[in-house]
Amino acid sequence: MLTSNGDDFGDLVVGRAGVVGFSLANPAGARISALRAEILLPPGVTLADRRSTVSDGVGWVCTAKEGEGSVSCGLDELLPGATTTAVVPVDVSPALVDHVVPATIHVSGPGMKDLEIVQDLHVTAQGMGARFVAAGGFAVTEVGAPVLHCAAHLTGCSQVAAGATTGSARNNNAWSMVAVDERGTGTTSSSAVLRLPAGSQVVSARLYWAGRCASDPRKVRIQPPGTGAFAPAGRAEDADLDRSGTDYQASIDVTAVVAAHGAGEWAVADVCATPGTGRYGGWALVVVHTDPAADDLVVLFDGYAPVLSPAAPRTFTVAGRAGASARVGAVAWEGDAGSAGDRLLFDDVPLTPRTWSPTGPPRAGSAGNAFDSTATGSRYVNSLGVDVKAFEGARFATSRATVTATTTGDQYFVGALTVSTPLGTTASP
């Protein structure tokens, strides 16, 4: 019997990437051919013209029906024991803010009983939307590096980079931050090592970068492992850009180049980040890839959320599988290793960050200092204002959870969240 999940992928956020989708499983029995799915979207929710998501790679093809408010999807076959997820990118009207509207999905195929899945879509004015979804046999990895740091010749800077200092010297606020130029580009450049399971394939890669910049920061270059030259990460007009004053985050899809070159040391150049006391700047690469050891639903959420005071925490809705453990990853900017009190809560439970060292294994950090300048894959134990890492200890009570970024003084910006949970299916009536 075909089984299904409506698959809640979190909130739809006005002006951000969002998705609607569903999972189907054929736990036993015969091959099912010529599957059809009709997604009936509510007024104000439309199929987006962008490549922000894909299905799990088994061949769903979806197209909008002009003037009918629906999307038609087809799949050639679903083999016994196989699971498939269809995901379509959508845009949402501001008129639906603070509303819950239904999407109805009809699934049919030769020789099978038709299925109907009803999914509630929650629409908000701000938060994080689902940028990419993959299900079954996938995992996610985040790496990154700073492009501003303390001047290496200054007393104490090498100890800071190695994570060997204490107190306020661990914060970018204690230093006149200068440009990092590892690759000799004459601007900013730094590198991070991306590790992937042997034989894995990259299905999504998105580059994020941030800092303080008064001009247009959307042009950056990327250098794959083993190559001698940088190339544009993409067209500036294809990059998403968010600002809070002169602080910003930009991002762009780099799936093709990362899939072509895979694991190794990646470098990014030309990130606009103004030097000075207390400044920050860096980049992150978020990669979804196949993993034979995983059977996870992986969702990349992104947005831009300044967390600037104890009175103004930021809360996001994420989705997964009820009762399942979860791996949470984050990209954030301006966090300080020497300033505790910033926490990342998963349904009010503080998450414990994983630290990073280029010369040793990761270990558990402090749940009371969630954003402690850990840039996984970089040359730095303390990146002075760049956080790209995973957290421990999350579990879904239901299919939705709230992730809340709080502070008692440290100011920082959350840019992206990744959530992975083991798959499970529920039989349709």
Give the integer Cα–Cα distance in Å for 94 and 326. Answer: 31
Does residue 392 or residue 387 have the better pLDDT? 387
Does residue 412 or residue 64 have the better pLDDT? 412
Per-residue pLDDT reduced to its tens digit, 214-270: 999 999 999 999 998 999 999 999 999 999 999 999 999 999 999 999 999 999 999
Give the integer Cα–Cα distance in Å for 264 and 267. Answer: 10
What value does the mean pLDDT take over residues 14-31? 84
Q: Are strands 12-13 and 115-124 parallel, antiparallel or unpaired?
A: parallel
Per-residue pLDDT reduced to its tens digit, 141-150: 999 999 999 9
Of 82-86, 193-197, 394-398, least confident by mean pLDDT is 82-86
What value does the mean pLDDT take over residues 174-196? 97
Helical H segments across 129-194, by residue range: 157-161
Question: Does position 288 have pLDDT exceeding 90, yes or no?
Answer: yes
Mean pLDDT of the chain: 90
Question: Does position 127 have pLDDT exceeding 70, yes or no?
Answer: yes
Q: Are strands 148-149 and 138-146 parallel, antiparallel or unpaired?
A: unpaired
Q: What is the pLDDT of residue 294?
A: 84
Question: Does position 301 have pLDDT exceeding 90, yes or no?
Answer: yes
Q: What is the pLDDT of residue 178?
A: 98
Confidence band for 67, pLDDT divided at 50, 70 and 90: low
∠ CA 243-248-254, nearest 5°, is 115
What value does the mean pLDDT take over residues 75-96? 87
Q: What is the pLDDT of residue 51?
A: 46
Nearest to 183 by CA among 88, 303, 268: 268
Per-residue pLDDT reduced to its tens digit, 2-12: 777 667 888 99
Residue 353 C-alpha from the chain's centroid:
16
Per-residue pLDDT reduced to its tens digit, 312-332: 999 999 988 888 899 999 999
Q: What is the pLDDT of residue 88?
A: 86
Give the integer Cα–Cα distance in Å for 208 and 386. Answer: 11
Report the predicted TM-score, pTM, of the whole model to 2 decimal places: 0.93
